[in-house]
Amino acid sequence: MALLSKIKNETAGGLLSALASGTIPLPHQLHVLNRAMETNNIRYILADDVGLGKTIEAGMIIKELKSRGLVQRVLVVCPTGLVTQWAAEMQEKFHEKFHVILPSDYDTIRCLTDAEDVYGQYDQVISPMDSIKPIEKHTGWTDERVEKYNEERIYSFINSGWDLIINYDLPWNPMKIEQRHHS
């Protein structure tokens, strides 16, 4: 009963979207959500220790921003080994469907959708940094082909009109969350 009372007090400011998903946030996660929602311009770094729920915090922020109508298009960039975990947690805990785009999927998606803007085909994407970072060389490829490969991926990534980008691929393991404003 005390935990329920604390949650009600923490969410009295109108932050109910995370609770509706069936995920009961911990007090420090609610604090992060409240801090992130203090302004309309979200630029936030989650730098908790490993295992303290940065993915849950990010999911709560996504859910709250979506419920307020502030974001629709969300990109999560994370290490390759966490892509499946991110997709599963967003689905299970927040009922948010994210499309996974791996480097090997890029050409297939482009062929299936007949669109150059692969990332623009989906509103919510999880992708490893390897899908978007430029390569310097590739066995058997000319410099021109490497350049074309890099331009296609970078163009698709940059010009997809993301409202929110979550980058979990930083070297010291924090998570950067940035809401983008379109001009």
Identify the pLDDT of residue 90. Answer: 92
How crowded is residue 173: how many other Cβ atoms within 10 Å of its Cβ? 14
Whole-model pTM: value is 0.77
What pLDDT shows up at residue 127? 92
DSSP strand E in the chain: where? 43-46, 74-78, 99-100, 124-128, 164-167, 175-179
In angstroms, rounded to a whole number, what is the distance separating the alpha carbons of residues 65 and 59? 10
For residue 96, the model assigns a pLDDT of 93
The confidence score (pLDDT) of residue 161 equals 87
If one counts every other C-beta atom within 10 angstroms of the C-beta of residue 11, the result is 17
* CA–CA distance, 146 with 181 (Å, rounded to integer): 31
Determine the pLDDT at residue 115.
82
Mean pLDDT per 10-residue section of the chain, whose length is 183 residues: 48 53 77 79 65 82 88 90 92 93 87 85 91 83 88 80 80 59 58
* Strand order through the sheet with 164-167: 43-46, 175-179, 164-167, 74-78, 124-128, 99-100
Q: Which DSSP string do the residues of 150-175 spell out, in sequence order?
A: HHHHHHHHHTT--SEEEE---TT--E
Q: Are 46 and 32 in contact (CB under 8 A)?
A: yes
